């Protein structure tokens, strides 16, 4: 099938997660008035980063395994 879909999913969520984390670290906390005072960018960014990392890991592991 060529491309394992877990690789692009992992990459994309990794990039999006990293962007949200970085933005969450530098952005003015005043923007979190909407989100009940929580820095959701940082929190959710970390969650996406973890998800992306897991997807990428499983995609790579499957790619390396000998094909049957």
Partner 1 sequence: MTLSAIDWAIMLVYLVFVLGIGVVVKRHTRSSEDFFLAGRALPAWVCGLAFISANLGAQEVIGMAASGAKYGIATSHFYWVGAIPAMVFVGVFMMPFYYGSRARSVPEYLRLRFDEKTRALNAVSFAVMTVFSSGVSMYAMAKLLQTLKLLDSPLAALGLPAAWAFHLSILASACIVLAYTFLGGLTSAIYNEVLQFFLIVAGFLPLVLLGLADVGGWSGLKARLPDGFAHSWQGMGSASTNPMGVEWFGMVMGLGFVLSFGYWCTDFLVVQRAMAAHSISAARRTPLIAALPKMVFPFLVILPGLLAVALPAPSAPPTLQAGDSASARVQSGIVPPKLDESGRPVVDKNGKVQLDYDLAIPQMLLHYLPPGLLGLGLTALLASFMSGMAGNVTAFNTVWTYDIYQSYIRPQASDEHYLWMGRMATVFGIGLSVLAAYVATRFNNIMDMLQLVFAFVNAPVFATFLLGMFWKRATGHGAFTGLVAGTLAAALHHGLTLPSGAEAGVKGGWLGMLESYPSEMAQNFWTAILAWSVCFAVTIVVSLITAPRAESELVGLVYSLTQRPAEDDLPWFERPAPLGGIVLALTLMLNVVFW
**Minimum distance, C-beta of residue 44 to partner 1, in the bound complex (Å):** 5
What spatial distance separates the first Cα and last Cα of the chain, rounded to whole Å? 13
26 to 55, contacts with partner 1 by CB under 8 A? 27, 31-32, 34-36, 38, 40-41, 44-45, 48, 51
Q: What is the dihedral of CA 20, 25, 27, 29, to 10 degrees?
A: 110
Burial class (CB in 10 A: 0-12, 13-18, 19+), 58: middle
66 binds partner 1 (CB under 8 A): no
Dihedral pair phi/psi, residue 59, rounded to 5°: -65, -40
64 binds partner 1 (CB under 8 A): no
Chain residues binding partner 1 by CB under 8 A are 1-3, 5, 8-9, 11-13, 15-16, 19-20, 23-24, 27, 31-32, 34-36, 38, 40-41, 44-45, 48, 51
């Amino acid at each position: 099938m060529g491309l394992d879909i877990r690789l692009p999913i992992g990459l994309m969520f990794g990039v999006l997660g990293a962007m949200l984390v970085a933005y969450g670290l530098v952005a003015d906390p005043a923007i979190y008035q909407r989100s009940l005072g929580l820095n959701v960018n940082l929190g959710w960014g970390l969650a996406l980063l973890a998800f992306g990392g897991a997807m990428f890991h499983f995609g790579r592991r499957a790619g390396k395994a000998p094909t049957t």
